[in-house]
Amino acid sequence: MEYTQLTAAELESTKAALDKEFEELKAKNLKLNMARGVLSNDQLDLTMEMLGNLRDKSDCISEAGTDCRNYGLVDGIPEAKRIFAELLCTTPDNIIVGGNSSLNLMYDTIARNMIFGVEEEGSTPWAQQGKIKFLCPSPGYDRHFAICERMGIEMITVDMLDDGPDMDTVEKLVSEDPSIKGIWCVPKYSNPTGVVYSKETIVRMSALKPAAKDFRVFWDDAYIIHSLYDKAAYQIEILDEVKKYGNDNMVYIFTSTSKISFPGSGIAVIASSKHNIDKIKSHMSVQTIGHDKLNQMRHIKYFGSLEGIIKHMERHAAIIAPKFQLVDEVLTRELEGLGIAKWTKPTGGYFISLDVYPGTAKKVYEMMCELGVNLTPAGATFPYRKDPRDQNLRIAPTFPPLDELRQASEALCLCTKRAAVEKLLNA
């Protein structure tokens, strides 16, 4: 029965039972973690062989003839550019293979635009234009928001719907306000909702008519190939789509192998129009003599081709899909029909997004801490860590082993129910 239909007496007795359960669980001194959106040990072990695959000099010579043990090729070795171009359905001219982190490329891209302006000739640096703003579809990725906060960029929260950001709001704001310079997008298996942007959303994003001539879409395709099940979500290519509307230079795409090979030791990529890539390359060649080409070589030798990467991702999915299913099973068993929570059922990516009873997410987080279960803090999925409805929590199922994940999920359900009952009793 839905909690909102319970009488005060029924709520009191439910609370008493939940309190008892809570105290019993607390006495077990749990030490669990469902906060870390990282690879499990089993996943990390999949790629160990990669570390030993540069054995002699011949393994280090790129097809361009460059010795990867030495300086050179600031935009990456050609064979890496080719595979990433294929992954992103573009050409190697539209790609720079960077260092070990796409977030680093995003930060640098914003910093570059703050200091030098966007890639158009005569563009005024963002930092010289007074207050500038970014649209932040939320729930979203906390580290995107942290970059804006650190750079002094005002963040405007936009609702994330089932098929992507609320495009009515995005179109309106972007077309009216020239101080809005960017929008964060995680178009496939979004963090944390798992949302896959629909074709209509991508078309509307491509066709934006920004009031700011130096507006940019930050298209963070971190989970581009991270399907949990056989049928991967298909999306149209935004770099092609923007050309139809004369917005050729409006989009930067980012991706990396962080959740394909080794987080923090993978390879990252930025893609954009050739015009933008040439400009970015010219700045980058002052910033660095080149990125880690030996690591690029290791990846190329290990995966061989895009096909190789796709096959490899099936091995990741075999390890993590059962974890997503387990969390869903526990949430369904414990919370369905109570009218106090809803959660996403992602078909890819790294997270499940749980909306608890409005006004209780912080409380649920505190209760989880009390039980010894580490959860991403409530509010983290919104700009300035302020969830206007105080209801969203991000669940990261990939790291813990199944038995720990089950205990953590059960604890989460208990806290969700307990916080909702308390809220209803105090209403």
Ligand X SMILES: Cc1ncc(COP(=O)(O)O)c(C=O)c1O
Residues at the contact surface with ligand X, assessed by CB under 6 A: 37, 101-103, 141, 186, 191, 220, 222, 256, 258, 263, 268
Q: Could you tell me the two tokens for 376? A: 């991403």
Q: Which residue, 103 or 338, is less far from ligand X as judged by CB? A: 103
* Nearest distance from C-beta of residue 374 to ligand X, angstroms: 16
Dist CA 409 CA 343 (whole Å): 13
Dist CA 160 CA 118 (whole Å): 27
Residue with tokens 């890819």: 348
Within 10 A of 48 (CB to CB), how many other CB atoms are there? 9
Dist CA 227 CA 231 (whole Å): 8
Q: Which residue, 37 or 377, is less far from ligand X as judged by CB? A: 37
Q: Which residue, 92 or 139, is less far from ligand X as judged by CB? A: 139
Q: Which residue, 98 or 210, is less far from ligand X as judged by CB? A: 98
Which contiguous run of DSSP H or E holds residue 418? helix 402-425
Sign of the Cα pseudo-torsion (205, 253, 144, 161, in order): positive
Does residue 250 sit in helix, strand or coil? Answer: coil
Are residues 57 and 65 in contact, defined by beta-carbon separation less than 8 angstroms?
A: no
* Nearest distance from C-beta of residue 370 to ligand X, angstroms: 27
Q: Which residue, 263 or 372, is less far from ligand X as judged by CB? A: 263
* Nearest distance from C-beta of residue 15 to ligand X, angstroms: 37
* Nearest distance from C-beta of residue 57 to ligand X, angstroms: 30
* Nearest distance from C-beta of residue 386 to ligand X, angstroms: 20
Which contiguous run of DSSP H or E holds residue 373? strand 373-374
Residue 270 dihedral angles phi and psi, to the nearest 5°: -120, 135
* Nearest distance from C-beta of residue 144 to ligand X, angstroms: 7
Between the alpha carbon of residue 179 and those of residues 156, 210, 217, 296, the distances in Å are 12, 10, 14, 38
Q: Could you tell me the two tokens for 98? A: 């960077």
* Nearest distance from C-beta of residue 95 to ligand X, angstroms: 15
> Residue 401 contacts by C-beta under 8 Å, 6 or more apart in sequence?
40
Q: Which residue, 88 or 103, is less far from ligand X as judged by CB? A: 103
